[in-house]
Chain A
């Protein structure tokens, strides 16, 4: 059994869909930080069979919309004094701002510089978002 030291004060990103851990790790730029982090892949899970897990031994601000978009299965576990003080279950955000770019070639965002495009969740089941400007659908990739 792999042994990873427990966290004193920080966050565990739990229930990451197996295989998504590395993408989330690099998306959060955890490969560039100097404090202690751990990416553990293919951990046995009663609920999902297998899961990935990230441990961050530091207080960090996470973009929950971006995380929810990447993997709505995630649970954030907040640790203080080596104890769990809170758990946050993520879901697909109702809207995301400044994260996605519209792929519709007829959209105004292809000719104007807009860095705060909002996409609205139109259909949760299909993971379908729509651009606020042109209403074109956008499907965040599913692993």
Chain B
């Protein structure tokens, strides 16, 4: 039963529960009118302690499309947080007004702390470089919708694998499926952390410094940007950001049914001349993200008794 739970990391949901959410998301996508009033009278609070447009819009759109409403802040300076209010006090107060809350915070573990003090479900919308479970649900739902299954795929992760929380969350979630080969493509400075690799002891892992040789073998290529805000030094950022760019020419090496995913926003790691290729699914992915968030909010608030 998902109703009333907190979603702090991808593994808070079982493989079976993720499957149920994906099924519901597909139902909503094919018949959105049926769910227009499903959450009428319910309120979602969006607590965004650091900037985000996509994730916040995705949650807000999800709630509004289910007939619910939203309140919240999109940067802490416009809230009591600027007066020094603790996360614990903020969440206790928000729990008096809203039915469910979504939190993004630059500090790792902040949503988990909030969930311990909250009487309403808390959804982690990204905590620093740590976890981003609804991006993971988006990615899993995209893979399931477009490849049919999570298992038996060769998946390449390319770019910033050290700080990229979307990659960490997705790898952790995929570790529960069978027969996946993980290919990690990054400069050594941005390699996947050891504690993430430790989770994959039952899977095949390959680490590479370039994507060309492996492209023909991939079923899924998951690209990430090198995030400027994760660096202290601009020179280091400029040196690394041009690495591992996917171009139309490189894509000629890939399978015809490979899919290219990206959590967005894209900077220059995928050339715009790739966008019209049918394998580029990163904008569709954002739409899948809204539908899976609709399914999640609906299940957290109504359980199986939804429209």
Contact = CB atoms under 8 A, between A and B. Distances in A.
Interface of A: 104, 106-114, 122, 130-137
B182 to A, nearest CB: 19
Contacts of B86: 112-113
Contact of A133 (B106, B109, B129): B109
29 contacts: A104-B108, A106-B106, A106-B107, A106-B129, A106-B130, A107-B108, A108-B87, A108-B105, A108-B107, A108-B108, A108-B113, A108-B127, A109-B109, A110-B107, A112-B86, A112-B87, A112-B88, A112-B110, A113-B86, A114-B113, A133-B109, A133-B110, A133-B112, A133-B113, A134-B108, A134-B128, A135-B108, A135-B130, A137-B195
A134 B195 contact: no
A106 B112 contact: no
Contacts of A133: 108-110, 112-113
A136 B129 CA distance: 11
Interface of B, secondary structure class, is: mixed
Given A112-B86, A113-B86, A114-B113, A106 B195 contact: no
A102 B130 CA distance: 15
A121 B195 CA distance: 13
B230 to A, nearest CB: 10
Contact of A106 (B88, B113, B128): B128
A125 B89 CA distance: 39
B195 A135 contact: yes
Nearest to B8: A133
